[in-house]
């Protein structure tokens, strides 16, 4: 299976049970970054996923498009999440893009781009109303 296929299969149904697959995707010195944090090395990436998934009830990524340019990949995705502390525990969707760089059949760089408001701030009831109000005034 090609690297990008392993990547897609892993993210399709991310869970604590699938974390052993990370070593098949990421290099030991890989870097994973998103709007919230940066993790350097496979052990740090595994720890990040363990922490992230600890309270997440469901996390599924639907990869919509993959563009490959040599050792670089650009991936658009929609992530469906169920987390008890966000959106009153109901399912919500976050849209994003990932820039990936591979070397020797492993990912060495992974940077996620997504709207932090869509993922977190708009999923907290009090902040959701404040953000919607600000958006209405800005338009």
pLDDT of residue 103 exceeding 90, the answer is: yes
To the question of pTM greater than 0.85 for the whole model, the response is: yes
* pLDDT, tens only, 7-30: 999 998 788 888 999 999 999 999
Under the banding of pLDDT at 50, 70 and 90, the label for residue 94 is very high
**Complete domains list, the chain, with CATH:** 3-138 (3.10.450.50)
pLDDT of residue 134 exceeding 90, the answer is: no
Q: Where are the alpha helices (DSSP H) in 1-124?
A: 3-12, 22-25, 42-54, 116-119
* pLDDT, tens only, 45-87: 999 999 988 888 888 899 999 999 999 999 999 999 999 988 8
SS3 assignment, position 139: coil
């Amino acid at each position: 299976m090609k690297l990008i296929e392993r990547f897609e299969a892993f993210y399709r149904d991310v869970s604590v049970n699938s974390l052993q697959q990370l070593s098949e995707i990421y290099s030991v010195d890989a870097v994973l970054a998103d709007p919230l944090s940066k993790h350097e090395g496979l052990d740090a990436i595994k720890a990040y996923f363990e922490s992230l998934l600890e309270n997440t009830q469901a996390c599924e990524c639907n990869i919509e498009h993959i563009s490959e340019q040599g050792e670089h990949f650009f991936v658009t995705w929609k992530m469906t999440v169920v987390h008890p502390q966000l959106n009153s525990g109901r399912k919500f969707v976050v849209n994003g893009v990932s820039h990936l760089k591979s070397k020797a059949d492993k990912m060495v760089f992974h940077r996620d781009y997504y709207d932090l408001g869509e993922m977190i701030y708009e999923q907290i009831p009090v902040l959701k109303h404040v953000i919607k109000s600000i958006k209405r005034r800005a338009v």
